[in-house]
């Protein structure tokens, strides 16, 4: 069957019907359907028309070219389409149907059957005629291997008795201390902790990890409070909400990343699938490398395939993106392994790898340290201007010196063939029962707290006299950069109303969401270089380009295995007859990927 030709109309017949729920007459509809290449239609197979709208519902027209009970007969059916689960519950419609086989050879001589009125409902949503006409008798109605079918139906009565709305009874128990028999002390990456309330029975029935934790004699079985480290507060509350209500709302990639980590940790499969689906729907040229890294981390083949196809399709655009220079080398390797890429020469891929290995960007932590020093200085010294400028200058000089020293060490060191295992581009989390010393007031927690609550610290000396305050007192030894290594003891006092603190904490998280995904990869780029070079197809490059750009680059030539790759390229250009000795993809250009081959579901 090559295609469908669809024609449909409906008309309102004037008159009153005491049985019609809407009053105002009987609704009459007609749907005409032409099927070309009739001889190609498979027997004993259901063929369904595109859906059409009638009386506020979606309907379909079906036919069988023979069925097991009547193999030599044409069967026609009319059905209501269930567009969403339960949408037909409470709906009943009394319908009179006429099935017609139109004569395409002689106009006006059609064949039809009138069916007695039947009731359509959720349990009986399809009615029809199993033996409309014999297949042998259809020849006089067929013209040019085309069949025209028609269904006319009248909706004589409509009854709508909608079921009562049922609310989730557990919704009011989300994070509620009422009837709670377990508490979670959730400590995020900044050392801030919150208490969340749960109910063992509900948690255990939703997660096999919770079930084992709360019932199999583990330490948590006998405790009323469980500590969880390195977990985002909003993500944990979202997970709890899903467990109690089966509803989930993801608003950003940062939320999806944190929620995916939690759902994988506690083996809550529906949340895991929804997070990965959200990643696929939000895929673009700025985040594809980060999403691909997450898909590989959590072994999601479907999402990895979508990312691989996206990169192959838009490789020429991704070459110009800074996100590509920040990508994890393990993911770049997967892209270079792919035989498909919409790029016109291999030289551009080589230039991308050169840019990637030379890419350098100041770490955000350096700027954060400057802000930290300025904030501390403002709270302890009235002459903060000179002190903070000196601190910033010292930190910058120290950072530049360290960066320069690190680069020299990297250039002089021997590199390996395996990629660095740094996972800075993917979130890491501590084991549930690990004891994180940073929670007990060490430098990291105070740094991060000041970084995220600078506005509070600046106004920290204003006492409100309110008993409902958060007060933090910590002593911290901060090493100053520059020539002098004097230690300075810092005392930080923060006072804030609890409600304002919680609102500001949430606002800070929301404001930083877009900046936290994807995370730039931070690792030894020189050690990762040899593995990337292995997947560049040097033999298909121009000879002069190889001599000038590749052999003339000392950093590239010092990479392990590069000399062998160069010999391979020169050998191919000098002796083309030995091409059969090469792996097939090493001497062939990458295939272009058609745009219609890529889609997301």
Q: Reply yes or no on whether the pLDDT at 505 is more than 80.
A: no
For position 215, what pLDDT does the model report?
86
Percent of the chain at pLDDT > 70 equals 67
Looking up residue 545, the CATH number of its domain turns out to be: 1.25.40.420
* 153 & 7 share domain: yes
Rounded Cα distance between 150 and 102, Å, is 7
Residues 182 and 256 in one domain: yes
Distances (CA, A) of 391 to 299, 429, 453, 486, 493: 45, 32, 20, 12, 21
Q: Which of 280, 298, 331 is the last residue of a domain?
A: 280
What is the arithmetic mean of pLDDT over 15-37?
64
How do residues 341-364 score in pLDDT, each as one tens digit? 888 889 999 999 999 999 986 544
Residues 253 and 320 in one domain: no
In a domain, 550, yes or no: yes
CB contact set of 590 (below 8 Å; sequence gap of 6+): 338, 339, 340, 341, 343, 346, 537
The token duo for 592 is 């272009």
Residue 580's contacts (CB-CB under 8 Å, 6 or more residues apart) are none
48 closest CA partner among 175, 149, 168, 160 = 149
Q: Which is more confident, 431 or 151?
A: 151
Q: Do 148 and 184 share a structural domain?
A: no
Domain with 7 in it: what CATH number? 2.60.210.10
User: Is 394 inside a domain boundary?
Assistant: no
Residues 126 and 241 in one domain: no
Does the residue 167 lie in any domain? Answer: no
Q: What confidence category does residue 389 fall into, taking pLDDT thresholds of 50, 70 and 90?
A: very low
Start-to-end CA distance of the chain, whole Å, equals 26
CA distances from 419 to 88, 269, 336, 391, 558 (A): 56, 31, 14, 36, 16
Closest CA to 142 of 69, 34, 61: 34
Tell whether 291 and 253 lie within a shared domain: no
Q: 579 pLDDT band (50/70/90 cuts)?
A: low
Domain count, the chain: 3
Examine the domain organization and report whether 47 and 119 are in the same domain.
yes
Burial 211-239 (b: 16+ CB within 10 A, else e): eebbeeeeebeeeeebbbbbbbbbbbebb
H or E stretch including 72? none
Q: What's the chain's Rg over C-alpha atoms?
A: 35
- Asked whether residue 193 carries a pLDDT value surpassing 90, the answer given is yes
Q: Choose from 161-170, 270-279, 416-425 the range with maximum mean pLDDT.
A: 270-279
**Structure confidence by residue, pLDDT tens digits, 457-503:** 444 444 444 444 443 343 434 443 444 444 443 344 444 454 555 55
Classify residue 187: in a domain, yes or no: yes
For residues 197 and 262, membership in a common domain is answered with yes
Is residue 371 assigned to a domain? no
Does residue 262 sit within a domain? yes
Q: Is 327 within a domain?
A: yes
pLDDT at 2: 35
49 with 9, same domain? yes
Q: Which of 280, 300, 321 is the last residue of a domain?
A: 280
Residue 208 has phi, psi (to 5 degrees) of -65, -25
Instruction: Tell me, yes or no, whether 508 lies in a domain.
Output: no
Alpha helix ranges (H) inside 251-298 = 253-265, 269-281, 288-297
Residues 211 and 92 in one domain: no
Contact 394, 481 (CB under 8 A): yes
Question: What is the average pLDDT across 566-586?
Answer: 76
Which residue is listed with tokens 């040229």? 285
Return the pLDDT at 461: 42
Which domain CATH number covers 203?
3.30.710.10
**Domain of 275, in residue numbers:** 174-280
Length of the chain, please? Answer: 601
pLDDT-derived band at 596 (thresholds 50, 70, 90) equals: low
**61 with 101, same domain?**
yes
Orientation of helix 253-265 relative to helix 269-281, angle to 10°: 150
Judgement on whether residues 276 and 287 belong to the same structural domain of the protein: no
Specify the pLDDT at position 519.
85
Identify the band that residue 216 occupies on the pLDDT scale cut at 50, 70 and 90. confident
3-state SS class at 522: coil
Contacts of 245 (CB under 8 A, 6+ apart): 168, 170, 171, 174
Query: How far is 325 from 574, CA to CA, in rounded Å?
Result: 34
Give whole-number Cα distances, 332 to 320, 325, 378, in Å.
14, 10, 44
Q: Name the residue among 523, 426, 514, 512 with its Cα closest to residue 190.
A: 512
CA–CA separation, 432 vs 428, rounded Å?
12
Q: Given 160, 189, 204, which residue is the final one in a domain?
A: 160
Which range (53-67, 186-200, 366-380) has the least confidence?
A: 366-380
Largest CA distance in the chain: 105
Q: How many Å apart are CA 332 and CA 525, to the nearest integer?
A: 12
How confident is the model at residue 93, as a pLDDT? 93
């Amino acid at each position: 069957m090559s295609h469908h030709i669809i024609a449909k109309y409906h008309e309102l017949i004037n008159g009153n019907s005491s049985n019609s729920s809407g009053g105002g007459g009987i609704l009459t509809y007609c749907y005409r359907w032409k099927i070309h290449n009739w001889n190609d239609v498979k027997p004993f197979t259901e063929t369904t028309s595109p859906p059409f709208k009638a009386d506020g519902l979606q309907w379909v027209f079906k036919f069988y070219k023979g069925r097991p009970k009547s193999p030599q007969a044409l069967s026609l059916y009319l059905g209501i389409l269930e567009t969403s689960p339960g949408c037909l519950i409470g709906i009943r419609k009394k319908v009179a149907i006429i099935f017609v086989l139109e004569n395409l050879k002689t106009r006006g001589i059609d064949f039809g059957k009138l069916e007695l009125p039947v009731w359509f409902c959720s349990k009986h949503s399809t009615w029809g005629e199993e033996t409309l006409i014999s297949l042998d008798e259809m020849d006089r109605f067929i013209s040019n291997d085309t069949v025209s079918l028609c269904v006319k139906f009248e909706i004589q009565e409509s009854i709508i008795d909608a079921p009562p709305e049922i609310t989730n009874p557990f919704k009011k128990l989300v994070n509620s201390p009422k009837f709670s028999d377990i508490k979670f002390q959730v400590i995020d990456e900044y050392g801030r902790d919150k208490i969340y309330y749960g109910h063992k029975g509900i948690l255990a029935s939703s997660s096999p990890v919770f079930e084992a934790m709360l019932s199999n004699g583990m330490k948590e079985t006998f405790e009323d409070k469980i500590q969880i480290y390195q977990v985002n507060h909003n993500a944990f509350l979202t997970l709890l909400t899903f467990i109690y209500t089966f509803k989930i709302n993801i608003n950003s990639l940062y939320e999806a990343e944190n929620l995916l980590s939690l759902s994988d940790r506690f083996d809550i499969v529906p949340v895991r699938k929804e997070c990965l689906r959200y990643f696929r729907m939000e895929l673009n040229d700025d985040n594809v490398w980060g999403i691909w890294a997450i898909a590989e981390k959590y072994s999601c083949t479907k999402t990895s395939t979508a990312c691989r196809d996206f990169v192959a399709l838009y490789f020429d655009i991704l070459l110009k993106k800074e996100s590509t220079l920040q990508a994890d080398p393990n993911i770049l390797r997967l892209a270079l392994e792919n035989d498909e890429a919409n790029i016109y020469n291999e030289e551009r891929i080589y230039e991308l790898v050169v840019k990637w290995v030379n890419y350098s960007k100041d770490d955000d932590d350096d700027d954060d340290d400057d802000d930290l020093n300025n904030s501390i200085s403002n709270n302890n010294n009235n002459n903060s201007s000179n002190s903070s400028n000196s601190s910033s200058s010292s930190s910058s000089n120290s950072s530049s010196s360290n960066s320069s020293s690190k680069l020299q060490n990297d250039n002089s060191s021997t590199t390996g063939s395996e990629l660095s295992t740094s996972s800075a581009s993917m979130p890491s989390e501590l084991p549930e029962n690990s004891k994180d010393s940073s929670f007990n007031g060490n430098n990291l927690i105070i740094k991060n707290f000041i970084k995220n609550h600078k506005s509070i610290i600046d106004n920290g000396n204003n006492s409100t006299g309110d008993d409902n305050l958060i007060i933090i007192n910590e002593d911290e030894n901060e090493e100053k950069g520059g020539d002098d290594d004097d230690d300075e003891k810092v005392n930080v006092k923060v006072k804030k109303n609890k409600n304002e603190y919680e609102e500001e904490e949430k606002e800070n998280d929301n404001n930083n969401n877009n900046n936290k995904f994807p995370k730039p990869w931070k690792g030894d780029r020189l050690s990762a270089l040899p593995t990337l070079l292995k997947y560049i197809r040097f033999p298909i490059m121009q000879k002069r380009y190889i001599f000038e750009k590749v052999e003339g680059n000392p950093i590239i030539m010092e990479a392990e295995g590069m000399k062998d790759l160069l010999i391979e390229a020169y050998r191919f250009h000098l002796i083309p007859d030995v091409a059969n000795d090469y792996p097939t993809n090493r001497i062939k250009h990458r295939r272009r990927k058609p745009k219609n081959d890529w889609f997301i579901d």
